[in-house]
Amino acid sequence: MAVAPPSYCFVAFPPRAKDGQVVFGKNSARPRDEVQEVVYFSAADHDPESKVECTYISIDQVPRTHAIVISRPAWLWGAEMGANEHGVCIANEAINAREPASETEALLGMDLVRLGLERGTTAKEALDVIVALLEEHGQGGNYYEDANSCHSFQSAFLIVDCEEAWVLETVGKYWAAEKMTEGVKCICNQLSLTTKIDAEHPELRSYAQSQGWWTGEDEFNFSEVFSPADGHLACCSGKDSLEKQEEIITVQTMIDILRDKASGICVDSESFLTTASIVSVLPQNRSSPCIHYFTGTPDPSRSIFKPFIFVEDVKLVPKAQSPCFGDDDPAKKEPRFQEKADRRHELYKAHEWARAVLESDEEQGQKLRKTMLELEKQGLEAMEEILTSSEPLDPTEVGDLFYDCVDTEIKFFK
């Protein structure tokens, strides 16, 4: 069984989060050399009978899809994490379970993240979308751009809006979900649901019984029943990091947690690296905008979190998008992944220089890091002003917000 990459997803609700705000975050751990891009798609109407081409399979399109902004490995259709115009955020985790994930090409967990965002106006609606698609199409296929072996995983999701969050854990088409409306939650690359289950696949328990994994007599504990036979793993370090926070959890606290290498939350190992990160703040007062901060670059401890706000005319950011190879893309041609495409975008290339300086030159590195944090701080302070202002947001002022931040970062690195 392939080792599931150690990503971490977090959510904090009041009273643990700042008054009236829900804070969401994810570090996406992926193969070290994989590039992630940040892409915005506007809301769209679709013809009846039209199809949507996901990473490996095509499925029926819906009449209307919501505007979304996502961070995704540049070779695939779906997303590691993202948000939609209705203030729904979703992140996924690759997990191993007792039942090996299917290698047959179907929907990837990452496709389901994007489909949930495109089709759900609330966290619960997005959950319903995901489980219905799982039932219809199943999940499976290679999680990595690797021609030599198929790395397939089951999926877990953290689905959040300003009122509630759902932890959804899946094994094939079977699933269980827990709802939360207060406190903090972390999910990582292992099953975490136990006996508190607020929604489940109608045949979940009978399936577990038919496999001999549950007697039907003991209390049903999802992760004990479905975790790999070599034992249910200990709780993930992210949970400790979040629960140990004594102060109120803000965007800055969440960014600091994602940058923490000592705890293992910021992954930098031989095979895996945190290739992109997100932090979102979802105000419970709906007159304030949701703000989503993306790095679009690897290693959050050496990256700048840049804000994005949904408005009518969002300016596209080609500099944070990877080149498009069309039908010649090695991920689309079969057999897949026979060549390795250079998917680095302009922001990624500029950031490579910064990473090299931060790693090699102590004095210049410290100076550079200080300036990067200063740039980020300016963005955070400007966003805080928007959240605390009693004036309505002027859409013309923030339509090119993410564009300007990316542009400034690239110029600064040059």
State both tokens at 265. 């939350």
- Angle, CA of 182, 21 and 65, to the nearest 5°: 95
Which residues form the catalytic set?
9
DSSP states along 60-80: EPPSEE--EEEEEETTSSS-S
185 close to 11: Cβ distance less than 8 angstroms: yes
Residue labelled with tokens 């804000």: 307
CA–CA separation, 19 and 17 (whole Å) = 6
Residue labelled with tokens 């979308």: 129
CA–CA separation, 323 and 325 (whole Å) = 7
Backbone angles phi, psi at 225, to 5 degrees: -70, -40
- Angle, CA of 57, 63 and 67, to the nearest 5°: 85
Q: 3-state class of 350 per DSSP? A: helix
Q: Tell whether the torsion through CA atoms of 69, 71, 76 and 79 is positive or negative.
A: negative
